[in-house]
Structure 1
Amino acid sequence: MNGKKILFVSSELVPYLPENEVSLMSYEAPRMVNSKGGQIRIFMPRYGNINERRHQLHEVIRLSGMNLVINDMDMPLIIKVASIPKERIQVYFIDNEEYFKRKATFTDEEGELFKDNDERAIFFAKGVVETVKKLNWSPDIIHVHGWMASLLPIYLREYYADEPLFADSKIVTSIYGKSFEGNLNPEISNKMAFDSIPEDRIEAVSPPTYNNLLKVAVDYSDAVILAAEGIPEDLKDYISNLDKPVLPYVPLQEFEEAYADFYNTEVLN
């Protein structure tokens, strides 16, 4: 991995959010690449339940300030950064008062999905790409973790198809166990259509279930990692029929060599 540039884009990440299969591997995979001499960038949403003072988040003025158009609305993009001290790893946070100020991640106090989770996912995908463009950093691999990041592959390959910075980047999507029941807002179809995403690809997200979002993510990925044991059977069957490299589930204690070998031999070749 020496010298390779890997962009990690995740829904959740320890130590900023509680430990689960997504947040833990979103930390361990970059740590592994970092230890092997790779260059990394990590992006996640700045949810309102992240303690900014404790984790010493601060706004990066030179990266903030642009507006992203979401469903014909201008939404200000704020970029914050923090460091994971013991690993010397810097994390970039995608922020917006409207989407991420609330003191929760994906659901309200009753456990209901936020109605604007679809727009939050679109904003996150666009925010990551626009920020990496400002950094002028061309990743060899873009590794996606968690459903809030699942629209990044389709937006990279469709909405940002002519962006030269990502022309040679390979996309890897990690698949985890089902993390929400029900559907996102069905209006996601119209919002993606506003961004000129092809109609047949939008249909694949309808209804916008967890499985359908991840199916579209892997369709636009160059390789897939099965990152959990409890992956929905429908999703596993779909992935098994894809003509692209798939890394079977590897326990956390054994993942380092398996992931590094997969990156080097299956993704970058």
Structure 2
Amino acid sequence: MTDQSTHQDPRSQYPGPESQPGEKIPHPGLTEQMAKEPDHGERTYRGSGRLEGRKALVTGGDSGIGRAVAIAYAREGADVAIVYLPEEEQDAQETARWVSEAGRTVVTIPGDIRDEAFCAELVQRAVDGLGGLDVLVNNAAYQMAQPGGLADITTEQLDRVLKTNLYAMFWITKAALPHLGPGSTIINTSSIQAFDPSPGLLDYATTKAGILNFTKGLAQELTEQGIRVNAVCPGPIWTPLIPATMEEEKVDQFGGDTPLGRAGQPAEMAPAYVFLASQESSYVSGDRIVATGGKLA
């Protein structure tokens, strides 16, 4: 659980867009490059043993939502393997440090999930390093905003978005299935973009809708094996991906159009992933948790 004082006003719980300078950082973006670093729950998330003994694989676990999930899982008693791009090693080691400080095993797996062979390899490395696998979080994603919309989306970019966001999810999940038994869970990161697509993110939004459909279909298939599949659909969340992929004028307004008037923090997403990985959600499958700052989805 996130250690926040009770009855806190969600509008002011975190700073609004005024704290987000209109900056541009190199892709894929490192946390320390951000003028305003996100809250991943490093000092606020308190565990209560809800995932004791579980073994989780989190893609995109170096920063942003992935880091927040890794920290929360570790503090709930899970061992964690994180997958990330080699360029994100610095962030990945910081995430690993927090998992280790929680007293849990951490496995770091650098590589590019656009490679099918690596997707199979990373699952095996996670299983070997953790001694099994109970929870798969398909969280890694790529986006690059194009102000000109469809006309500016090159085949090269489309290929990268589809392979990172969709192909890899298929490959990794397929490789993980032989290791998942009854009671295991798969959690996929979709987005509000699945319901309310932004023209400048048309390719990304399309994949996020596909992820939601994949979640619903796979949940039906795996029910007979006792494996649950669900999705989390975040709204605008403050992560390195934002200043690394969006125009500066969009960055300093990011999240301001939500009813709560601000972007969400990765720490605010982690409890949804904990719930879906825990026994508390035993009757939830083929469903979604939407966390969008009040935006309807």
Q: Give the TM interval when normalised to the shorter protein.
A: 0.3 to 0.5
Q: Using structure 2 for the length normalisation, give the TM-score.
A: 0.43
User: Higher helix fraction: Structure 1 or Structure 2?
Assistant: 2
